Amino acid sequence: MKANFKLRLKTFCISILMLIVLFLKPNGLISQDISTVGEIYDYEVNDVFHYYLNAGNINGYSGMWSITNIKILDKYYSANNTTVYYVRNVAYKAFYYPDPVLIQKFYVDTVSYSNLNNPIHNGFVDSVYKDPDLYNGRKINFIDFLNDNYVNTMKYVNGCGVASRYFYSWESQSESSDELVYFKKGEEEWGTQMIIVSVENLELIDRISIFPNPAKTTLKIVTDSDDIVEGAVFSLNGIRMKSFELNSKQTTLDISELKPGLYLVQFIINDNIISKKLIIE
């Protein structure tokens, strides 16, 4: 009896999801206007992209989140111009739970995309539309896979690559969501930055101190630099909680609105990034 009920419930849920996909079409639909591979992966030197991924078991027993910062360093084509190559600077940080494991790495790689004149995903796209609230109104190519085992949706966005990917498995009761949360292309900017602290200049670390630590409602910041120092407080999942500037060698920062926990205080001084761990009680 219980098994039959679970099967009927699962069938009902799948049917509802299929109805949503079939009948709830986004606003601004552009019929039969599927983007090409070249349009989707149209990057330029100095383009910046920030991604946030969250994955885990539905019951919350295990999982991870990660932040990836990408900057395009160079761009070149194959001899026949059918493949584009991008040299990227990548900063990656991931946190695994329930055992607190933090991984952080910085590297340079090269990625390539071919068949630039072909439609994305070989033309198998469920809908094409624009949303003024998403990606500055850039064209979105939406793809949805739905069967008895999993749900998998993707958004390909002109000039931004894969901007969203959601996956849910009925069998393993697990899900993952990978989202483009920020981009900067020339003067165009969208979203909220999730900055990863870069490799630090060890000579500068001692030039800034914070106290008390642990802190409660205020934080004193002392620096020996005469330059204006930009700063920000980040949560452990990379969300910017507070921004500030240091215009003097000693500053008192109000942190009363921040919840107790562990944070990173990041400073930018002379184009160098340094960070300090902060505990708020």
Do 41 and 112 lie in one domain? The reply is yes
Residue 17 lies in a domain: no
Per DSSP, 137 falls in state: G
Note the pLDDT tens digit of each residue in 174-194: 899 999 999 999 999 999 988
87 Cβ contact list (under 8 Å, min separation 6): 72, 73, 74, 75, 108, 109, 110
Residue 13 lies in a domain: no
Query: Where is pLDDT greater, at 170 or 256?
Result: 256
Residues 114 and 86: their CA atoms lie apart, in Å, by 12
Please give the pLDDT value at position 2. 36
Domain that holds residue 103: 28-191
Residues 193 and 181: their CA atoms lie apart, in Å, by 7
Domain boundary among 123, 156, 191: 191
Do 186 and 274 lie in one domain? The reply is no
- 86-100, 221-235, 249-263, range with the lowest pLDDT: 221-235
Residue 232 lies in a domain: yes
pTM (two decimals): 0.64
Query: Where is pLDDT greater, at 6 or 195?
Result: 195
Do 40 and 170 lie in one domain? The reply is yes
Do 255 and 163 lie in one domain? The reply is no
Domain boundary among 163, 191, 219: 191
Assess contact for 108 and 88: CB atoms under 8 A. Answer: yes
Question: Which 3 state secondary structure label does DSSP give 202?
Answer: helix
Percent of the chain with pLDDT over 70: 80
Mean pLDDT, to the nearest integer, of 61-70?
89
**Strands 240-246 and 250-254, how do they pair?**
unpaired
Domain boundary among 160, 191, 222: 191
Note the pLDDT tens digit of each residue in 203-215: 566 778 899 999 9
Distance of CA 105 to the CA centre of its chain: 16
Assess contact for 242 and 232: CB atoms under 8 A. Answer: yes
Question: Which 3 state secondary structure label does DSSP give 195?
Answer: coil
